[in-house]
């Protein structure tokens, strides 16, 4: 899939407004068809009804996809204000940028030496600030060296790194001391810690 199209399809704002506009169209169209049902031929009524049902199915599919995507980001329940959920989704990695807990478990010691793992919580203000910081410092954006992982429940059941994180964002990297890897953890990073991580990320991508 073309990268620009992929980014558009996974863009929470784009999907949200597609759902809103499509729902309005379906409601207005259905109202007109129902109002004119006695003056419309059976064939035309059948055709319009079929089209409305197809469009309704499409809207439900897109809505389901959006909630699935936000679930991958860490949304815990569908019973939330959809507009607020979409705003939170915009301030987190998209479904295509998130690293799975399985991939996290499979990191070799060699890979850990050049990897920063960022465990984030959906809707967490500090995580959102980190994401905005990463927009200005692209070396911290998701890549093969910078792994953004959701703290969703299913990930906690797979990765001890995720399960043991209690404050967010929880940032993990490894220093090699002789032949031993020592895990370093930063939670709720300060500005100076972010600057240090930014420099470290640049070194990893050289």
pLDDT in tens, 114-124: 999 999 999 99
Full-model pTM: 0.83
Contact yes or no for 120/130 (Cβ under 8 A): yes
Give residue for tokens 């990897």. 115
Contact yes or no for 90/12 (Cβ under 8 A): yes
**DSSP E strands: which ranges in the chain?**
116-120, 146-150, 170-177, 180-187
The C-alpha atoms of residue 136 and residue 106 are separated, in whole angstroms, by 30
Structure tokens at 81: 């204000």
pLDDT value, residue 4: 53
The C-alpha atoms of residue 101 and residue 48 are separated, in whole angstroms, by 46
Long-range contacts of 106-111, Cβ-Cβ distance < 8 Å, separation of 24 or more: 109/181
At 176, is the pLDDT very low, low, confident or very high (cuts 50, 70, 90)?
confident
Q: Residue 12 above 90 pLDDT?
A: no
Mean of all residue pLDDT scores within the chain: 90
* Dihedral over Cα of 48, 20, 63, 142: its sign: positive
At 78, is the pLDDT very low, low, confident or very high (cuts 50, 70, 90)?
confident
Contact yes or no for 55/22 (Cβ under 8 A): yes
């Amino acid at each position: 899939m073309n990268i620009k199209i992929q980014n558009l399809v996974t863009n929470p704002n784009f999907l949200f407004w597609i759902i809103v506009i499509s729902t309005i169209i379906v409601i207005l169209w259905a109202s007109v068809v129902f109002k004119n049902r006695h003056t419309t031929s059976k064939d035309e009524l059948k055709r319009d009804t079929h089209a409305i049902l197809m469009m309704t199915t499409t809207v439900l599919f897109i809505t389901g996809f959006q909630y699935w995507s936000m679930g991958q980001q860490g949304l815990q329940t569908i019973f939330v204000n959809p507009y607020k959920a979409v705003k939170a989704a915009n301030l987190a990695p998209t479904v295509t940028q998130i690293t799975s807990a399985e991939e996290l478990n499979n990191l070799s010691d060699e890979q850990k030496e050049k990897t920063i793992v960022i465990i984030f919580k959906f809707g967490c203000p500090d995580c959102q600030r980190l994401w905005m910081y990463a927009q200005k410092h692209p070396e911290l954006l998701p890549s093969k060296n910078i792994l953004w992982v959701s703290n969703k429940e299913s990930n906690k059941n797979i990765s001890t790194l995720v399960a043991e994180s209690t404050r967010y964002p929880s940032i993990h990297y490894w220093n090699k001391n002789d032949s031993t890897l020592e895990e370093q953890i930063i939670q709720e990073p300060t500005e100076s810690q972010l600057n240090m991580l930014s420099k470290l990320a640049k070194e990893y991508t050289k």
